[in-house]
Structure 1
């Protein structure tokens, strides 16, 4: 089926699938997406491609869910983009509104290493905290919950500061977060295009290297939902190439912190 879809005769079918994925999850057309689609031949062969069926497609339909599992990019690691994480820890986390439980979110959490990174950062704050990881890909979420990862190669802990490795159990070519972190971390399947978080509930959201795979319309929709989910004065961490448009309710956290933004508001 993959070879057949590559033929010019079935080009419109592949185009219809890409169009529906853009509507479902905001995925933009790209060589990465096309190649992943072509490798998902058995799943594609089960999809009804008439217009009525395409219009009824949803992320919860078994075959479309399987296709989303197959095409989502799941590249992540502990303390990824270490310089940004270090700046977030040193300058942003201590400035977040005190009182109550600190709420941190990894939006597009993949296999969970970013969420567990947030948990390690939160342990040193001396206040209650919780971390939530959100992703569409079911196998990735299963891996995030299991939280047992190979050390490599390449070295999966290459960006983790030596002092923070005490929060990981490392043995026999594997590592996992220590048991004390687990009760405050949860994972949930969610579509970032939907209202997947309550308004003004999060103190910080990380959504890094996610928007680059989305259409312009999808990026804007997700950004608006993420901003709405932040408390006034809360932080949004984005990838280095993500530039929120003016008038969306964000301002740079400071001149020196690349990719870290603050939600505007009375408490900012």
Structure 2
């Protein structure tokens, strides 16, 4: 179906389906991606929306935003490493440090967490979650083009020792790979173990969601954090009251701590 033949009611019905299925909000970004994916739309069973239905899965692959890079939001990553991790580590007990990248896209932020964890001096594991199948394939392969623009522009020089860099490409060193895992998941129901994660990074995901979707995802992520665990969000992501989150510190933007709902 050519873009000019895509009827507005049909487009609206698909947008409603995406909102119900994955919490996607109507936006110019989503509409433009739907128009580019117009040939996929006539096959969609609007009454059977599922991330596992092949036609819906193909549409989700086409419309999810996959912008990411190593050490993205470097100031927040540095704050997490220098101020948050040292507080978390003494409270872990005997288990590994468990970190999650929710909405991991092509994996660079999950591999960033792996570098931080590998330098923490104890056992660790990282899990990356995303809906987009091609992005997850790229995350698992973990072989990235150097640019331009410079894909490593925010990576501290000392941390580049964790990357093999050659011939215009880079990839994480082999020692990191066994402890990093990726899987396809809907953040509205990510199937994360309750109170098991020490920190979850979910940046620039909620901005594409409806208010109901944002709250639903935040509830899931908070439930997955152990008490005292850290949630790293984008600077404009403001969790509503009553979710069991408090700012990590009044001078730190975008990092939240799991506390009692009334704390």
Quickly name the TM-score band, shorter chain normalised. Answer: over 0.9
| 1:32 matched to 2:26 | no
Unpaired runs of 5+ residues, structure 2, are none
Match of 2:73 in 1: 81
Q: Structure 2 CA distance, aligned partners of 1:78 and 1:162?
A: 12
Q: 1:177 aligns with which of 167, 172, 196?
A: 172
Match of 2:217 in 1: 222
Q: 1:98 aligns with which of 92, 97, 104?
A: 92
Q: Give the drift of 1:110.
A: 0.1
| 1:54 matched to 2:46 | yes
Q: Give the drift of 1:73.
A: 0.1
Correspondences of 1:135-214 after superposition (within 5 Å) = 135-214=130-209
TM-score by length of 1: 0.94
Residues 2 and 40 in structure 1, CA contact (< 8 A), matched pair in contact too: no
Deviations 1:215-243 (A, max 9, x none): 00000000000000000000000000000
- The count of corresponding residues between Structure 1 and Structure 2 is 259
Q: Structure 2 CA distance, aligned partners of 1:54 and 1:45?
A: 10
- More deviation, 94-103/241-250: 94-103
Deviations 1:145-191 (A, max 9, x none): 00000000000000000000000000000000000000000000000
| 1:14 matched to 2:15 | no
Q: Structure 2 CA distance, aligned partners of 1:70 and 1:253?
A: 36
Q: Structure 1 CA distance, aligned partners of 2:239 and 2:191?
A: 20
- More deviation, 192-201/85-94: 192-201
Residues 3 and 36 in structure 2, CA contact (< 8 A), matched pair in contact too: no
Moved over 6 A (4+): none
- More deviation, 105-114/117-126: 117-126
Match of 1:44 in 2: 41
Q: Structure 1 CA distance, aligned partners of 2:37 and 2:216?
A: 27
Residues 5 and 11 in structure 1, CA contact (< 8 A), matched pair in contact too: no
Q: Give the drift of 1:85.
A: 0.2
